[in-house]
């Protein structure tokens, strides 16, 4: 019996030789994809890290007057503000907390109740939602929450309505990586509440 010639005809590629460059091409595609994903992830982490550093060292002041409002120093106002300040302190670990009522000189029924505090906050949206939950427990469910413009200081800002038998009250709040604050705006719409809160925030919040 004559030996069988298994050599491919001239010009026909050998299967093993064809497999090697194809494997290399596959490896390059996979490595390139991983590199692209890694670069995107690094960019995201870098941006998020910069935002945390930029916002984390916040402080809050409560001046006698802000945005045309005057601090209410009556015993009832201070008692209400202190109650809510304590309530949020039980749910969120804050370095500094505030609780204050500001009167609207044009109408006693449009006083603003402001409470919150400062801390290193990793997930601002989550802590802001926690504050809304605290308010729901104490004053009535907060409904119709929606994101609104947070202004130049950034972070997250939301507005909704606290629903209670005695009447609905607009509620707005903000949170960033250094602070979280909620405000009640009786006699105002959510749009008016959001606009006023941005003005108040621009006065009372600062960063080191």
Q: How confident is the model at residue 1 (pLDDT cuts 50, 70, 90)?
A: very low
Output the DSSP codes for 120-182.
Answer: --S-HHHHHHHHHHHHHHHH--EEEEEEE---TT-SEEEEEEE--TT--EEEEEEE-SSEEEE
pLDDT digits (tens, 9 = 90+) for 125-175: 998 998 898 887 666 678 899 999 999 999 999 999 988 777 789 999 999
Last residue of a domain, one of 55, 77, 96: 55
CB-CB contact of 167 with 147 (8 Å):
no
Residue 37 above 50 pLDDT?
Answer: no
Average pLDDT over residues 65-88: 91
Same domain, 28 and 106: no
Same domain, 106 and 181: yes
Residue 24 above 90 pLDDT?
Answer: no
pLDDT at 204: 96
Residue 12 above 60 pLDDT?
Answer: no
Q: How confident is the model at residue 17 (pLDDT cuts 50, 70, 90)?
A: very low
- The structural domain count of the chain equals 2
Minimum mean pLDDT range among 7-11, 34-38, 101-105, 166-170 = 34-38
Dihedral over Cα of 157, 160, 166, 167: its sign: positive
Residue 3 above 60 pLDDT?
Answer: no
pLDDT at 16: 46
Same domain, 71 and 169: yes
Query: Does the model's pTM come out above 0.85?
Result: no
Same domain, 80 and 161: yes
Q: How confident is the model at residue 79 (pLDDT cuts 50, 70, 90)?
A: very high
- CB crowding 39-77: b at 16 or more within 10 Å, else e: eeeeeeeeeeeeebeebbebebeeeeebbebebbeeeeb
Range of the domain at 195: 59-207
How many residues appear in the chain? 208
Q: Return left, alpha or beta for 140; rule: phi > 0 is left, psi -120 to 50 is alpha, else beta.
A: left
Same domain, 6 and 42: yes
* Average predicted confidence (pLDDT) for the chain: 81
Same domain, 100 and 47: no
Residue 15 above 60 pLDDT?
Answer: no
pLDDT digits (tens, 9 = 90+) for 172-203: 999 999 999 999 999 999 999 999 999 999 99
Percent of the chain predicted with pLDDT > 70: 73
Structure-token match 């008692």, residue found: 79
Same domain, 181 and 95: yes
Last residue of a domain, one of 13, 38, 55: 55
Same domain, 124 and 176: yes
Structure-token match 């989550």, residue found: 126
CATH number at residue 152: 3.40.1000
Same domain, 38 and 93: no
Same domain, 82 and 123: yes
Last residue of a domain, one of 37, 55, 73: 55
Q: How far is CA 64 from the centre of its chain?
A: 28
Same domain, 71 and 139: yes
Same domain, 37 and 119: no
């Amino acid at each position: 019996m004559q030996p069988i010639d298994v050599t491919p005809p001239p010009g026909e590629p050998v299967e093993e030789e064809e497999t090697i460059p194809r494997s290399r091409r596959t490896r390059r595609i996979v490595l390139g994809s991983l590199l692209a994903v890694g670069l995107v992830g690094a960019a995201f982490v870098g941006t998020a890290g910069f935002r945390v550093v930029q916002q984390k060292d916040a402080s809050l002041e409560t001046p006698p007057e802000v945005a045309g409002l005057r601090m209410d120093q009556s015993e009832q106002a201070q008692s209400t503000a202190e109650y809510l300040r304590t309530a949020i302190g039980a749910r969120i670990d804050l370095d500094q907390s505030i609780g204050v009522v500001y009167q609207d000189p044009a109408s006693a029924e449009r006083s603003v109740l402001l409470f919150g505090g400062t801390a290193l906050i990793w997930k601002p949206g989550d802590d802001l939602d926690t504050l809304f939950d605290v308010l729901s427990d104490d004053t009535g469910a907060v409904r119709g929450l929606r994101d609104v413009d947070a202004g130049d200081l950034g972070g997250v800002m939301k507005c909704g309505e606290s629903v209670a038998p005695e009447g609905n009250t607009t509620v707005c709040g903000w949170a960033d990586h250094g602070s979280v604050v909620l405000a009640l705006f009786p006699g105002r719409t959510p749009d008016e509440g959001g606009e006023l809160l941005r003005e108040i925030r621009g006065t009372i919040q600062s960063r080191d």
